[in-house]
């Protein structure tokens, strides 16, 4: 109750799985607050515990220790029936969509309404509204088997929204989709967040998903939160090894970094990237650089990105470049190992 607008609060959460090969700690000492109306990202590599964390938010997974508050109410204090009622205000979507295969799109969206005893006609009307919201009016009588991955996820989103939840939990919701479809689904989530004010929690292993829609992010590594903050800040100045790793996907690390050479990571924070910074720097300093990695994209309408260049061997040149970047107010850092 400390902060009026927080919808989810997690205190000292621990989840340990007891397996026959011994105990496995999936989450340890997790503290987290998610504000009403934000899009909060949780990113980590597979096995980091992120899916377990999101399942603790609606108690699909029982925490071993710690407390989970939803809308000021501690969830583990609730009885089975009260918990089920609470869950009507926590929507969830999944990587594998998890639609009822023997129901049409419309019937799938009616499902959560049936659970709360909404009259049939009313449920149908609401389901049609939701189908319109996710742009699938013409698919109301299609079965999941007849829908594409993106369409299935849209139906799942509509279904999750049927009972007007306050929060929508997205567990790797775009991981099974191709990049174009992913963009469409993310745009839809953003739209829902803005139109309906639904708080969205996004679990992903892809930094691009976080950059695209999240305002804040927690980076999860080996059962711990290693970084937490605004996406822009973490993007511009990642503190942890894992954050760097996520920012530079291994697949793109094609180049072996120079013969002991130093590398410079130049960050575009949304102000400067339309100016030819790199060319200007090279012209100004009179030394060429080798571009090792470049990645820019549109985040929240601002151009964000990063370029990693290999620095020349001469110390003089490096100093000049640093000075140039400083005068231009461009953020940069020297990197050794990505």
Partner 1 sequence: MKPELLQLILPSTWESLYMTLISAALAYIAGLPLGILLVVTDKNGIRPLPTLNAVLGTLVNLLRSVPFLILFIALRYVTSAIVGKAYGARAVIVALFVAAAPFIARMVESSLKEVDPGVIEASQSMGANTMQIICKVLLPEARASLLVGAAISITTILGYSAMAGIVGGGGLGAVAINYGYYRNETAMMWIMIVILVAIVQVFQEVGLYLSRMVDKRIR
Binding residues for partner 1 (CB under 8 A) = 58, 60, 80-81, 83-88, 90-92, 94, 96, 98-104, 111-112, 114-116, 143-146, 156, 159-160, 163, 169
The distance of Cα 215 from the centroid of its chain, to the nearest Å, equals 9
**108 or 193, CB closer to partner 1?**
108
**116 or 291, CB closer to partner 1?**
116
**57 or 264, CB closer to partner 1?**
57
**56 or 308, CB closer to partner 1?**
56
* Tokens describing residue 100: 């009822």
Bridge-based pairing of strands 65-70 and 224-230 is: unpaired
Cβ-contact 96, 102 below 8 angstroms? no
Cβ-contact 223, 26 below 8 angstroms? yes
In the bound complex, what is the minimum distance in angstroms from residue 27's beta carbon to partner 1? Answer: 18
Helix axis angle for 149-161 and 179-196, nearest 10°, is 20
Q: Which long-range contacts (CB under 8 A, 24 or more apart) does 328-333 make?
A: 328/272, 328/277, 328/280, 329/272, 330/266, 330/267, 330/268, 330/272, 330/277, 331/236, 331/237, 331/266, 331/267, 331/269, 332/264, 332/265, 332/266, 332/267, 333/237, 333/264, 333/265, 333/267
**167 or 311, CB closer to partner 1?**
167
In the bound complex, what is the minimum distance in angstroms from residue 213's beta carbon to partner 1? Answer: 21
**94 or 293, CB closer to partner 1?**
94
CA distances from 210 to 22, 161, 193, 200, 202 (A): 34, 21, 15, 12, 8
């Amino acid at each position: 109750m400390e902060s009026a607008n927080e919808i989810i609060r997690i205190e000292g959460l621990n989840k340990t799985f007891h397996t026959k090969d011994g105990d496995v700690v999936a989450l340890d000492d997790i503290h987290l607050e998610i504000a009403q109306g934000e899009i909060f990202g949780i990113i980590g590599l597979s096995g980091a515990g992120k899916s377990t964390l999101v399942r603790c938010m609606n108690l699909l997974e029982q925490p071993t220790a710690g407390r989970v508050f939803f809308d000021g109410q501690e969830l583990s204090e609730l009885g089975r029936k009260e918990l089920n009622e609470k869950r009507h205000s926590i929507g969830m979507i999944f990587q594998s969509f998890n639609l009822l295969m023997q129901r049409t799109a419309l019937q799938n969206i009616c499902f959560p309404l049936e659970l709360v005893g909404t009259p049939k006609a009313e449920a149908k009307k609401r389901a049609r509204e939701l189908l319109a919201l996710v742009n699938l009016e013409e698919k109301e009588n299609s079965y999941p088997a007849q829908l594409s991955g993106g369409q299935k996820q849209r139906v799942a989103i509509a279904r999750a929204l049927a009972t007007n939840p306050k929060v929508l939990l997205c567990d790797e919701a775009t991981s099974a989709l191709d990049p174009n479809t992913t963009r469409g689904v993310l745009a839809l989530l953003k739209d829902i967040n803005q139109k309906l004010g639904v708080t969205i929690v996004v679990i992903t292993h892809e930094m691009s998903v976080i950059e695209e829609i999240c305002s804040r992010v927690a980076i999860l590594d080996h059962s711990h939160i290693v970084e937490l903050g605004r996406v822009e800040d973490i993007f511009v100045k990642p503190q942890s090894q894992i954050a760097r790793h996520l920012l530079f996907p291994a697949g793109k690390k094609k180049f072996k970094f120079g013969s002991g050479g130093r590398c410079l990571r130049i960050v575009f924070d949304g102000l400067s990237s339309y100016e030819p910074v790199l060319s200007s720097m090279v012209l100004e300093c009179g030394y060429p650089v080798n571009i090792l990695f470049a990645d820019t994209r549109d985040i929240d309408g601002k151009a964000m990105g990063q370029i990693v260049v290999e620095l020349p061997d001469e110390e003089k040149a490096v100093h000049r470049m640093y000075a140039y970047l400083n005068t231009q107010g461009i953020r940069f850092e020297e990197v050794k190992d990505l």
